[in-house]
Chain A
Amino acid sequence: MGRYVARRLLLTIPVLLGASFLIFAMVYALPGDPIRALGGDRPLAPAVVAQLRQEFNLNDPLGIQYLKYLGDLAQGDLGTDFRGRPVLDTIAQRLPVTIKLTVVAILIEAIIGIVAGVLAGIRRNSFFDNVVLVSTTLVVSIPILVLAFIAQFVFGLKLGLFPISGVQEGWYSFLLPGLVLASGSLAYVARLTRTSVAENMRADYVRTARAKGLPNRTVVVRHTLRNSLIPVVTFVGADIGTLLGGAIVTESVFNLPGIGRAIFDAVRAQEGAVVVGIVTLMVFFFIFFNLVVDVLYAVLDPRIRYE
Chain B
Amino acid sequence: MNLSKRRGALVAASITAAMVLSACGGSDEGGEGGAGGEAGGTFSMYINEPENPLVPGNTTESEGSQVVKSLWTGLIQYGPEGEAEFSGVAESIESEDNVTWTVTLNDGWTFHDGTPVTAQSFVDAWNYTAYSPNAQGASYFFSNIEGYEDLQAPTDEEGNVTGEPAATEMSGLEVVDDTTFTVTLTGPFAQFPVTVGYNAFFPLPESFFEDPEAAGKNPIGNGPFKADGEFVPGQGITLSKYEDYAGENEAQADGVEYKVFADLNTAYTEVQAGGLDITRDVPPDAITTAADEFGDRFLESPSSQFTYVGFPTYDPRYQDKRVRQAFSLAIDREQITDAIFNGTRAPADAAIAPVVDGYREGACEYCEVDVDRANQLLDEAGFDRSQPVELWFNSGAGHDAWMEAVGNQLRENLGVEYQLRGDLDFSQYLPLLDEKGITGPFRLAWAMDYPSPQNYLEPLYSTAALPPAGSNASFYSNPEFDELVAQGNQASSNEEAIEFYNQAEDVLLEDMPIIPMFFGLEQAVHSENVSGVFVDIFGQVDTSKVTVNN
Contacts and interface: CB of A to CB of B under 8 A. Distances in A.
Contact of B263 (A33, A46, A94, A253): A253
A252 B52 contact: no
Given A84-B216, A90-B233, A145-B17, A43 B468 contact: yes
A49 interface: yes
A53 B263 CA distance: 31
A138 interface: no
A36 B22 contact: no
B266 A83 contact: no
A257 B259 contact: no
Contacts of A90: 233
Nearest to B429: A32
Contact of A255 (B1, B158, B266, B272): B266
A153 B160 CA distance: 52
Given A164-B273, A253-B263, A48 B139 contact: yes
A67 to B, nearest CB: 18
A164 B53 contact: no
Interface string A242-257: 0000000101111101
A152 B434 CA distance: 44
Contacts of B447: 41
Contact of B469 (A46, A85, A165, A252): A46
B10 A268 contact: yes
B136 A47 contact: no
B24 to A, nearest CB: 9
Interface stretch (A8-16, A154-162, A195-203, A285-293): A154-162
A153 B232 contact: no
Contacts of A37: 425-427, 430
Nearest to B446: A41
B430 A160 contact: no
A35 to B, nearest CB: 9
Contacts of A215: none
Given A149-B18, A255-B266, A45 B233 contact: no
A52 interface: yes
A50 interface: yes
A54 B471 CA distance: 23
A153 B424 CA distance: 35
Interface string A104-126: 00000000000000000000000
Given A48-B139, A50-B160, A36 B431 contact: yes
B517 to A, nearest CB: 14
Nearest to A51: B135
A59 interface: yes
Contacts of A46: 152, 155, 159, 468-469
Contacts of A143: 17
Highest count of chain B CB atoms <10 Å: which of A50, A93, A251: A50
Contacts of A251: 262
Nearest to B459: A42
Give chain A's interface residue range (CB within 8 Å of chain B). 35 or more
B203 to A, nearest CB: 21
A33 B430 contact: yes
A79 interface: no
B98 to A, nearest CB: 24
Contact of A45 (B25, B140, B158, B273): B140
Contacts of B15: 145, 249, 252-253
Interface in A217-243: none
B235 interface: yes
Contacts of A48: 132, 135-137, 139-140
Given A46-B469, A59-B158, A257-B260, A164 B60 contact: no
B425 to A, nearest CB: 5
Contact of B1 (A41, A44, A165, A270): A41
A47 B262 contact: no
Given A48-B137, A152-B269, A157-B25, A43 B152 contact: no
Interface string B139-156: 110010000000011010
B528 interface: no
A164 B275 contact: yes
Highest count of chain A CB atoms <10 Å: which of B18, B21, B25: B18
Contacts of B135: 48, 51-52, 55
A294 to B, nearest CB: 35
A100 interface: no
B132 A43 contact: no
A44 B471 CA distance: 10
B445 interface: yes
B234 A94 contact: yes
Interface string A140-181: 000101101110110011101001111100000000000000
Interface in B419-455: 424-431, 434, 444-447
B53 A59 contact: no
A97 to B, nearest CB: 8
B247 interface: no
Given A32-B428, A48-B137, A53 B159 contact: yes
Contacts of B213: 84
B470 interface: yes
A148 B18 contact: yes
Nearest to A34: B427
A31 interface: yes
A252 B273 contact: no
Highest count of chain A CB atoms <10 Å: which of B153, B159, B160, B470: B159
A36 B234 contact: no
A153 B21 contact: yes
Nearest to B143: A45
A40 B52 CA distance: 14
Contact of A84 (B17, B53, B235, B434): B53
A222 B229 CA distance: 54
A44 B200 CA distance: 13
Contacts of B261: 165, 255
A41 B269 contact: no
Contact of B137 (A39, A50, A160): A39
B49 interface: yes
B428 A160 contact: no
A64 interface: no
A251 to B, nearest CB: 7
A301 interface: no
A253 B10 CA distance: 14
B30 A41 contact: no
Interface of B: 1-3, 6-7, 10-11, 15, 17-18, 21-22, 25, 29-30, 49, 51-53, 60-61, 132-137, 139-140, 143, 152-153, 155, 158-161, 165, 213, 216, 232-235, 259-263, 265-267, 269-270, 272-273, 275, 424-431, 434, 444-447, 459, 467-471
Given A43-B467, A43-B471, 14 more contacts: A32-B425, A33-B428, A36-B434, A37-B426, A38-B3, A38-B51, A39-B60, A42-B60, A47-B139, A51-B134, A51-B161, A52-B135, A160-B273, A165-B266
- 3 tightest Cβ-Cβ pairs between the two chains A and B: A257-B234, A32-B427, A47-B132
15 contacts: A33-B431, A41-B445, A46-B152, A46-B159, A47-B155, A51-B134, A85-B53, A85-B233, A149-B22, A152-B22, A157-B30, A158-B30, A164-B266, A255-B266, A255-B267
